[in-house]
């Protein structure tokens, strides 16, 4: 039996607006997170921006909903 992951990784893009860190975006791959960081830094240089890796538990509900969306219905 093949191993099935119990969590999935994603990256929160956080911005410091003067009142603390606030999540402004989330990306599923590090490549997309780096692209978002670059865009935020170019467009809003007055605010600090960082990426934080997070994990969330994979539930059967989220797996079922993703699977049904990608499969055509008859």
pLDDT in tens, 12-68: 999 998 899 999 999 999 999 999 999 999 999 999 999 999 999 998 775 555 544
Q: How confident is the model at residue 70 (pLDDT cuts 50, 70, 90)?
A: very low
- pTM beyond cutoff 0.75: no
Q: What is the DSSP string of the chain?
A: -----SEEEEEEEEEE-SSSEEEEEEESSHHHHHHHHHHHHHH-TTSEEEEEEEEEE--HHHHHHHHHHHSPP-
């Amino acid at each position: 039996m093949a191993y099935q992951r119990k969590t999935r990784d994603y990256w929160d893009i956080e911005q410091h607006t003067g009142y603390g860190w606030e999540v402004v975006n989330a990306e599923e791959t590090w490549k997309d997170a780096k692209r978002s960081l670059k865009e935020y830094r170019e467009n809003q240089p007055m605010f600090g921006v960082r990426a934080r890796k997070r994990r969330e538990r994979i539930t059967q509900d989220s797996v079922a909903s993703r699977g049904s969306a990608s499969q055509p219905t008859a």
